[in-house]
């Protein structure tokens, strides 16, 4: 167990987690908050942060009302006093083997001055073959990058509508999958495309649940699904170059 509150250097982060596995820690880590989400099992809240790598954190549902206002997407925070454990084998949203658990003693403080610069372009991109292997297993909720081929749904220009939207997404040459968007994800996507035609646009879609139905690959949205269209994102730059998209 660590004996004092210290900010752990990024290079030592994974080593610290391994040493503290299943032990309460009084150490501190500085993290970038990507956002909050509700997982599909155990009814707990989780959020993503980045030190030397992207990892997951669990917050007991009863503590959510207290911690949620402190976890502002895009902020840098110092998290102190937590537990470390191995990730479960279901619904993984990062490749990191560890998860940080919040306990009643956990504290969160926003770092305003001299906040470290962190690389926030961190995705768990999967191509078609790995998606096939993951389909119907619920082992991972991966991210994908691809080019929009077509969009189907009703009231596509009405941002508040939450009915299903189906996007045909090319993720490899001659490989098209069906991105099935529901509820908040469908509404969010409508809002993004309502400002103009997004057909042929390249985007990153996060935290999808791959399923095979009728011989076709469907990537179902989850409550954590988000969309990124920034052409400067490394994942989009690499995809665009590999597909020779202009």
The stretch 207-230 carries a mean pLDDT of 94
Q: Would residue 165 count as lying in a domain?
A: yes
Q: Find out whether 44 and 88 touch, Cβ atoms under 8 Å.
A: no
Contact 77, 118 (CB under 8 A): no
One domain, residues 105 and 187: no
Statement to judge: residues 69 and 144 lie in one domain: no
Rounded to whole angstroms, the maximal C-alpha distance in the chain is 58
**What is the per-residue pLDDT across 37-82, written as a single tens digit (0 to 9) for each?**
443 322 233 333 444 456 666 677 777 778 778 777 677 788 888 8
Q: Are residues 49 and 142 in the same domain?
A: no
Last residue of a domain, one of 110, 139, 161: 110
At 56 the pLDDT is: 64
Q: Is residue 99 part of a domain?
A: yes
Summarize pLDDT for 163-183 with one digit per residue, the tens.
Answer: 999 999 999 999 999 999 999
The listed range with the strongest mean pLDDT (82-86, 178-182, 196-200, 223-227) is: 178-182
Same domain membership, residue 228 and residue 192? yes
Instruction: Answer yes or no: do 158 and 188 share one domain.
Output: yes
User: Tokens for 205?
Assistant: 């879609």
Residues 236, 139 share a domain: yes
Residue 60 lies in a domain: yes
Q: Which domain holds residue 79?
A: 10-110
Mark whether 82 and 139 lie in a shared domain.
no
231 shares a domain with 154 = yes
Number of domains in the chain: 2
Answer yes or no: is 116 within a domain.
no
> CB–CB of 42/53 below 8 Å?
no
137 forms bridges with which residues in the sheet? none
d(CA 50, CA 55) in angstroms, rounded, equals 7
Q: Is 101 in the same domain as 171?
A: no
Confidence of residue 102 (pLDDT cuts 50, 70, 90): confident
- Say if 92 falls within a structural domain: yes
Give the Cα separation of 123 and 148 in Å (integer): 19
Q: Which of 110, 139, 154 is the last residue of a domain?
A: 110
The answer to whether residue 20 scores a pLDDT higher than 80 is no
Strand 165-172 and strand 98-110: the pairing is unpaired
With a cut of 70, say whether residue 221 has pLDDT above it.
yes
pTM equals: 0.71
With respect to residue 117, please indicate whether it lies within any of the assigned structural domains.
no
Residue 159 has pLDDT above 70, yes or no: yes
User: Exposed, middle or buried by CB within 10 Å (0-12, 13-18, 19+), for 202?
Assistant: buried
pLDDT above 90 (res 194): no
Residue 152 class from Cβ within 10 Å (0-12 exposed, 13-18 middle, 19+ buried)? Answer: exposed
Asked if 78 and 153 sit in the same domain, the reply is no
Instruction: Verify that 234 and 195 share a domain, yes or no.
Output: yes
Q: Is residue 120 part of a domain?
A: no
Instruction: Return the CATH number at 55.
Output: 2.40.50.140
3-state secondary structure of 163: coil
3-state secondary structure of 219: strand
Q: Of 61, 77, 110, which marks where a domain is finished?
A: 110
Indicate whether 149 and 234 sit together in one domain. yes
Asked if 110 and 76 touch (Cβ cutoff 8 Å), the reply is: yes
- Residues in a beta bridge with 121: none
Which has the higher per-residue pLDDT, 104 or 205? Answer: 205
**Composition of the chain by helix, strand, coil, percent to 5:** 20, 40, 40
Mean pLDDT of the chain: 77
Residue 191 falls within a domain, yes or no?
A: yes
| Sequence-distant (≥ 6) Cβ neighbours of residue 160 within 8 angstroms | 187, 190
pLDDT of res. 199 = 67
Residue 35 has pLDDT above 70, yes or no: no
């Amino acid at each position: 167990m660590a004996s004092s509150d210290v900010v752990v250097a990024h290079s030592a982060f994974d080593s610290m987690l391994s040493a503290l596995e299943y032990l309460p820690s009084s150490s501190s880590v500085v993290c970038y908050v990507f956002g909050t989400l509700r997982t599909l099992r155990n009814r707990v809240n989780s959020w993503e942060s980045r030190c030397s790598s992207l990892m997951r954190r669990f917050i007991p549902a009863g503590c959510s009302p207290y911690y949620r206002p402190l976890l502002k997407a895009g902020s840098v925070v110092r998290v102190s006093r937590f537990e470390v454990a191995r990730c479960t084998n279901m619904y993984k949203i990062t490749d990191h083997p560890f998860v940080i658990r919040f306990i009643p003693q956990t504290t969160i403080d926003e770092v305003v001055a001299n906040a470290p610069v962190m690389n926030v372009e961190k995705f768990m991109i999967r191509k078609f073959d790995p998606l096939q292997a993951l389909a119907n297993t619920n082992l991972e909720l991966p991210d994908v990058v691809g080019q929009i081929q077509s969009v189907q749904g009703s009231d596509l220009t009405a941002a508040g509508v939450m009915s299903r939207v189906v996007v045909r997404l090319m993720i490899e040459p001659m490989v098209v999958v069906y991105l099935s968007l529901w509820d908040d994800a469908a509404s969010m996507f409508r809002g993004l495309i309502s400002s103009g035609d997004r057909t042929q646009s390249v985007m990153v879609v996060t935290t999808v649940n791959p399923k095979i139905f009728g011989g076709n690959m469907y990537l179902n949205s989850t409550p954590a699904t988000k969309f990124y269209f920034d052409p400067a994102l490394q994942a989009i730059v690499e995809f665009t170059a590999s597909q020779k998209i202009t």
